[in-house]
Chains A and B, each alone.
Chain A
């Protein structure tokens, strides 16, 4: 008997997959663009933030954390807090307006759903700046709205422009579509039989909403809320135009450091610190997003 050596199994003909496979280097152009124009500025910002100011508008590249230490000042902490509070207020107002609109579109519109969606997006086709100026005209104490409000007697003095209210209205108006769309998407995926089941088991419509619809659309609501909250925090134009410069947002202060005081290292440090702060919210968002996948509601 001859002892057979164990032959390695013959390689079976490669299983062909008909899914197209593209070579990895095709991503190179996007990656290069991304590195130059996104990571590049970010790197410069980091370098500036640990440098020091050497005279008006020039930078001395010596490592120092003094810029970050300088941030720990009641004045700047107040700006950070005010920015977050204004953005939170704007987000709350956006939710208060956006959720009912999305709910109404998803549940009660049948034939005109697409049209309604289009109308939600239409303002995005006009320049953000122009729309904010338009809002300024509407909120003007001498404007038609002011006259109307005073005529109806709701308020004898329509003084909204250059107040926190005007900033909140401007924020809510500009970011509304960013909230409506994800909330609408989550409502579209909602199984309304569940609400029927809840009322069948004795829940009033309000309770059914709170216990069933809201938790199941919460992932969409959180996505939308973060999608509006984060850019609201970085808002620059709206507090300038509608707050009359009385509401210093972090963005305003950073801008004045770069353009006015020409203190680039301090402006950079402030920008980095704020970025880290906002990242915390992004982390929360990712945590929720993965939870959403778990029960795929």
Chain B
């Protein structure tokens, strides 16, 4: 995609933020496209919330430039920024009615009472919470409070909507419902969403693009599919979904293919070019591995293993295997049939794990961060 044709709503240029000796955000560059749903994903302490708070204006960057809508935002207080936040614990004003909560921002803008009410009504309709106008926040359930918080921010029609783990306090079922809701609302209003979460499933299912963060840097910024299928670093591969890792010496490398000797007859053959190093690491997704009963031959991409544990996950059966070289592998099979093949294996059995050449993903060591775009 060419840079010129896209407008950016938020731009980070080598932003660093420190808290005392702790570097929360370390030279991050990021461009958020107009109208996209971008997630900042990472474990706690990775800098995702600090990044969000800098966009909101609650924190100021120590170094670097921050642009909102193309103009410099450093030093501009939160109440003069065209962004609004949906807080983790909703932060609804307990002493005001639902309607007054939603109207609050418009009131600050000195919008007339009639227009305030009309717009608040629309916003509450958008989040599907009507008929509660005069209630106090404490009288609503967590999910309903979440909707009010969303309406309160959306009614401002901001350039960017910031969401700080908004679904974190909800139970699983409600969370899944709200994920679909959020996506629907974003499609409907077309506002740029920047969504902070530590839940990879949430990020993958809703986002146009995901920025995976760790230790104050963005490890990878791409579409959910690319992040899952082509993780650039071991951290991303491990954090997004499950990944089985194998490490070994490069035995051969030619013509866009390679073979790695992981020891004890475990040989991985894959596509691509192992970069430089003699010892490389590959990852294989659990769903790409097939397990068969019996002691298979020691050819490439076929490893003898022992079944350690069997678990039922409801829709899937999961095995934990120990390969001949000692590595532990997680393998899963969907229960599409009444008796999936994997189900005939019991702990202690000897089996063979197989995968095809497209399955192994070469892990690069963390490289200097490329400019995110």
Contacts and interface: CB of A to CB of B under 8 A. Distances in A.
B91 A194 contact: yes
Interface size bucket, B side?
Answer: 20 to 34
Given A199-B79, A200-B79, A207-B108, A194 B93 contact: yes
A83 B78 CA distance: 47
Contacts of B57: 200
Given A200-B56, A207-B108, A295-B95, 13 more contacts: A191-B89, A191-B91, A197-B91, A198-B104, A199-B78, A200-B58, A200-B78, A200-B83, A200-B153, A201-B79, A201-B108, A202-B156, A211-B104
Contacts of B153: 200-201
Contacts of A212: 93
Interface size bucket, A side?
Answer: 20 to 34
A292 to B, nearest CB: 10
A66 interface: no
B79 A197 contact: no
Interface string A26-54: 00000000000000000000000000000
Contacts of A194: 91, 93-94
Nearest to B139: A295
B87 A201 contact: no
B16 interface: no
Contact of B93 (A197, A200, A202, A204): A197
A193 B109 contact: no
B91 A201 contact: no
Interface string B138-170: 100000000000001100100000000000000
Nearest to A295: B94
A191 B85 CA distance: 16
B91 A202 contact: no
Interface in B68-89: 77-79, 83-85, 87, 89
B105 interface: yes
A215 B95 contact: yes
7 contacts: A193-B87, A197-B85, A200-B58, A201-B108, A201-B152, A203-B108, A295-B95
A148 to B, nearest CB: 39
A196 B104 contact: no
A275 interface: no
A196 B108 contact: no
A191 B95 CA distance: 12
A297 B94 contact: yes
A105 interface: no
Contacts of A201: 79, 84, 104-105, 108, 152-153, 156
Contacts of A202: 79, 105, 108-109, 156
A296 interface: yes
Contacts of B83: 200
A207 B110 CA distance: 13
A200 B95 contact: no
Contacts of A204: 79
Query: Which residue among A199, A212, A295 has the maximum number of chain B CB atoms within 10 Å of its CB?
Result: A199
Interface in B43-80: 56-58, 77-79
In the A-B complex, list the 7 residue pairs whose CB atoms are closest, starting with the nearest. A201-B105, A202-B108, A197-B91, A193-B91, A199-B78, A199-B79, A200-B85
Contact of B87 (A196, A199, A216, A296): A196
Interface in A275-297: 295-297
Contacts of B56: 200
Contacts of A216: 94-95
Contacts of B87: 193, 196-197
Given A200-B79, A201-B84, A203-B79, A296 B93 contact: no
Contacts of B91: 191, 193-194, 196-197
Contacts of B85: 196-197, 200
Contact of B138 (A197, A215, A296): A296
